[in-house]
């Protein structure tokens, strides 16, 4: 019997989220606009951050809570991202790691 490996996209699609009405991500728009690297666009595995009409938009609802964005933003960007764990009972519920 062979077992098919799930692709990353398929595994991410199996994750379950308990969505909070309150965002656990905040972005300082002034600092973000001055950022040349926009490193958050490239490091987030869930693609939470996107550029729309040259403005950064983000969907906290899709966040995997890995913290990569805040580390990258502080070290390679302008430190515009403030991230905290979602309130208890909210956020991602991993099914496949």
Task: Write the pLDDT tens digit of every residue in 14-34.
Answer: 888 999 999 999 999 999 999
Both tokens assigned to 96: 């496949």
62 forms beta bridges with none
Query: What is the set of domains in the chain, with CATH numbers?
Result: 23-93 (3.30.70.20)
pLDDT for 96 equals 62
Percentages of the chain per state (helix, strand, coil), in multiples of 5? 30, 20, 50
Q: What sign results for the dihedral spanned by CA atoms 19, 92, 12, 32?
A: positive
Task: Write the pLDDT tens digit of every residue in 19-77.
Answer: 999 999 999 999 999 999 999 999 999 999 999 999 999 999 999 999 999 999 999 99
pLDDT for 14 equals 82
Both tokens assigned to 19: 């969505």
pLDDT for 95 equals 66
């Amino acid at each position: 019997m062979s077992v098919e490996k799930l692709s990353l996209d398929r595994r991410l699609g199996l994750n379950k989220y308990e969505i909070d009405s309150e965002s656990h991500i905040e972005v300082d728009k002034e600092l973000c606009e001055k950022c040349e690297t926009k490193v958050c666009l490239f490091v987030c595995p869930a693609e939470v951050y996107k550029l729309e009409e040259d403005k950064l938009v983000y969907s906290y609802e899709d966040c995997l809570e890995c913290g990569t964005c805040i580390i990258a933003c502080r070290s390679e960007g302008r430190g515009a991202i403030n991230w905290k764990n979602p309130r208890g009972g909210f956020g991602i519920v991993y099914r496949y790691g």
